[in-house]
Amino acid sequence: MDNKSRLLVAAILSSTAICSVAQAQEDTRRDFDLPAQELKFSLHAVTRIAGLELAATSEALSGKRAPALKGHYSAAEAIALLLKGTGLTAQVSGRTVFIRENSPSPQSASEPTAMGPEITVTGSRIRGAVPTSPVVASSRDEIERRGITDLGAYARSVPQNYAGGQNPGVIGSVQEGSENFNSSSTLNLRGLGADATLTLIDGHRAAYDSVVQGVDISAIPLVAIDRVEIVADGSSALYGSDAVGGVANVILRQDYEGGKISARLGAATEGGDVQQQYNLVTGSRWDGGGFMVAGDFSRSTDVTAGQRSITSALDGSTTLYPSLNQKSAVLAGHQQLNDIFSFEIDGQFSKRSSKTALAFLATGDFTVNGTAAQRDVKSWSIAPRLKAALPGGWLATLGYVHGSSDSDAATVTNLGGAEFSRNRIFYDNTLDTLEASAEGGLLQLPGGKARLALGGGWRSVSLDANIRSTRGGATSTLVDYTSGQDVWFGYGELSLPLVGPDNNVPLVHRFRLTGAARYEDYERFGGTTTPKFGVVYEPVSGLAIKGTWGKSFKAPTLAQINKVPEGNLLNASYFVPAAPGGQPVLLLGGVSPDLKPEKATTWTATVTATPAFAEGLRLEVSYFHTRYKDRVVQPATSSSQVFGNDIYDRLIVYNPTAEQVNAVIAELPLGLVNQTGQAFDPANVGAIVDNSLQNAASQTLEGVDASADYQLTFARGDQLGFNAAVSYLKSNQKLSEGQPTIQRAGTIFDPPHWRARGSATWQRGNFTLSPSITYIGGTLDDRYQPYVRVGSYTSVDAVAQVRTSETAGFLSGIEVTLSLLNIFNEMPATIRNSSAAAPTYDATNYPVIGRSVSLGLSKAW
């Protein structure tokens, strides 16, 4: 048996993160004295007193009452008593308690059982463990109360995320990886790139989108999810390649009882972005199982330059935000087969079409001089899992995932009112992965039971790329390849609770150490091992100090590996300063044959406080630092400036022989492109410049994330909640050894230093009002002198929801939602540009939609 097979066989086991509220929350006992009342009021009271956040849907709590609660209990015990007999279960992620309907009753044991109510805890593979990295968790209800209707918009609202990258609102970006290819939405944590953020669906991988090696989060309809969890910390030791900036986990509803149908209409008040959205979720639960099916259809019209005053310098036909038409569906289900085995499955399908246009000149629309494009993308996945309850409370899982994402872009270019060319671009991605793992307890330590998670498996990704161009009736193939990558992996994670509350150690309420390691073996790059260590120290109840240190990595993308070598013969005068000798220069592009994975070292330090003197208040501050090296780049930012700068000397071969020149050209699939206007003579080439992709760049990032939550419940049952989050980012980059360090964060087309959001929610009976504010800091336009500041952006939103009474008969379950987004019609600051086709604002950071209004209506049964 070879090493790869041993990895899979040795990991015959799996665990999805499972936790009950009793295991995850071991708070000190408190005195409770609550009357018999509606369940939602009692749950809010308990979580507020315990310093926790409550996430529960109105459907789950509708019509349910809680008994009187009087006594001395932990938060876990109090919630378990309130939920007894309701058919609901409480699950914890970080400091958030999620309430959902489930056929099994909540567990009350102090350790997770093999078949307890399940939850994926992002940031750890140990059941019930609170991750040592800070976690941003948002429930579906929280997202909807902010007026957000799709996960792409949610991703762009997260302070730790950079909107540049795959994003339908990005146009004219000059940053590599920030181009909008097919109107997908990918997470881009800390601005490290969509390919450096790992996105999971219910804890498993999904197929990459186009060539950016990100995952289209907008393909999952919001109505199908339970919550989203984001860990903005390097996580390759737990999840493997791509998790340099962090990992996001879109967690689906596991089942549903009844149904809910919704419709929404909206539009931007400045014109364009006329939206229609219709969705349905339904399902059923039975003893030992259940399922959920959700579908969503949405479409919106485009926003053009002629509809916004800040883009008056552009031709009015240029698209600022594309028209979109999307259909998506999700299925999830689970079934207990017997006392040992259970089966779970989730599947997803999405199809989206978008249209854009770009005029090259300020007058005359794109049909005269410009391009028009239609981009279609279709994705689907299926992920079955078999779980087994093993002796000693261990849980094993064997799971398989198959996913596919196919992009098809058709563009037409017009010059002088006539068609000049047609291009067709196909990118087809597939994913197959087989994984087995297990998790369970080892031995009893003073602070609790030591727990271990082990796993391993195989993953295969592939990319089919084809680019064709038709000009003058003749079609030529520019790119055509099929490429794949097989990976074998194994991992482990250990949690050691050394001190617990029952040990009564002065100034050590709780102390826990964690360690994780992962090995991945790539057929192209060999093996890579990444470790991660964490610590949780609570000197007293209500104050936690956490820290992490680890290594992460990202394998080169298949598009990078297969970049087509190209050679251009250029006159010496093309370069500034001119190439010495005045002879033509052969400029090469492509990819180095020695590409290797990019690597990062990350660490965080976090302080979380839930002070007893301010019940319902939670404060968290986290410092992060990332050192990212061996980034794949073209070492010369501007190939025209390679001469006269000795840091580029290693890229240049001066005075090559004719044999050397001919040998290089013989390796070019598309041959030599002679742009000198003269006949080619291999003996008359003054230099060869190799600006191929290679592991050259390094980045350093550091900053602070801070958040505050405060939940209040008043005597008459009114609830008032406040939430705020702010992120500060500082980042620098060095393109290759010997080059100067340049600022990234805080400059145009890069992440700003500051991003923040704040919200409040007031609920009285069946009415909820949720105002919020979003701030995106300004940047520095340092493209050329004089440097100028680009102004910041602030948007104020408000969402009002009213629900009919539960006793309204047929009319019960109706909800009306009115959303006013960007109430004061804030627009991006204008920027300088030197091209009639370039946008007059930074589209990677600031939205151009303006004020929008929407009205939604839903009916649940």
Strands (E), 217-369: 225-231, 246-252, 258-268, 275-286, 289-300, 303-304, 319-321, 323-336, 341-359
Angle at 572 between CA 571 and CA 577, to 5 degrees: 140
pLDDT of residue 648: 82
Q: Which two tokens stand for residue 357?
A: 């246009």
Sole residue written with tokens 């001089």: 369
The reply to whether omega before 322 is within 30° of 0 (cis) is no
pLDDT band at 268 (very low <50, low <70, confident <90, very high): very high
pLDDT in tens, 838-847: 899 999 999 9
pLDDT of residue 808: 83
Least-confidence region, from 115-124, 708-717, 754-763: 115-124
Please, what is the average pLDDT of the chain? Answer: 89
Q: How many CB atoms lie within 10 A of CB 652?
A: 18
List the alpha helices (DSSP H) in 56-108.
58-61, 75-83
Q: Has residue 744 got a pLDDT over 80?
A: yes
pLDDT band at 136 (very low <50, low <70, confident <90, very high): very high
pLDDT band at 87 (very low <50, low <70, confident <90, very high): confident
pLDDT band at 95 (very low <50, low <70, confident <90, very high): low
Q: Has residue 618 got a pLDDT over 80?
A: yes
d(CA 226, CA 216): 18
Helix, strand, or coil (residue 248): strand
Q: Has residue 181 got a pLDDT over 90?
A: no
18-119 and 194-255+266-556+596-633+694-860 agree in CATH topology? no
pLDDT band at 780 (very low <50, low <70, confident <90, very high): very high
d(CA 104, CA 88): 8
CATH of domain 194-255+266-556+596-633+694-860: 2.40.170.20
Strands (E), 500-572: 510-522, 526-540, 543-554, 566-570
Q: Has residue 447 got a pLDDT over 80?
A: yes
Angle at 428 between CA 423 and CA 430, to 5 degrees: 170
- Are 508 and 230 within 8 A, CB to CB? no
Percentage of residues in the chain with pLDDT exceeding 70?
A: 91
pLDDT in tens, 560-617: 999 889 999 999 988 888 888 899 999 999 888 888 999 999 999 999 999 988 888 9
- The kind and range of the H/E element at 141 are helix 140-145
Strands (E), 416-542: 418-445, 448-471, 474-499, 510-522, 526-540
pLDDT of residue 107: 34
pLDDT in tens, 160-171: 999 887 889 998
pLDDT of residue 134: 94
Least-confidence region, from 80-84, 225-229, 798-802: 80-84
Q: Enumerate residues 6+ apart whose C-beta is below 8 A from 792.
A: 752, 754, 775, 776, 777, 778, 829
Q: Has residue 85 got a pLDDT over 60?
A: yes
CA 797 to chain centre: 23
pLDDT of residue 576: 81
pLDDT in tens, 659-680: 999 999 999 988 899 999 899 9
CA 93 to chain centre: 18
d(CA 205, CA 215): 9
CATH of domain 18-119: 3.55.50.30
In the chain, domain spans = 18-119, 194-255+266-556+596-633+694-860, 566-594+643-690
d(CA 506, CA 513): 19
As a whole number, mean pLDDT of residues 213-225 equals 95
As a whole number, mean pLDDT of residues 519-544 equals 94
- The kind and range of the H/E element at 142 are helix 140-145
pLDDT of residue 113: 45
Percentage of residues in the chain with pLDDT exceeding 90?
A: 67
pLDDT band at 78 (very low <50, low <70, confident <90, very high): confident
DSSP state, 435?
E
- Are 4 and 521 within 8 A, CB to CB? yes
The pTM of the full predicted model, rounded to 2 decimals, is: 0.86
Q: Which two tokens stand for residue 63?
A: 């019509």
| Between 321 and 40, the higher pLDDT residue | 321
pLDDT in tens, 513-528: 999 999 999 988 899 9
Cα-flanking dihedrals φ and ψ of residue 622, to 5°?
-135, 135
pLDDT in tens, 359-372: 999 888 999 999 99
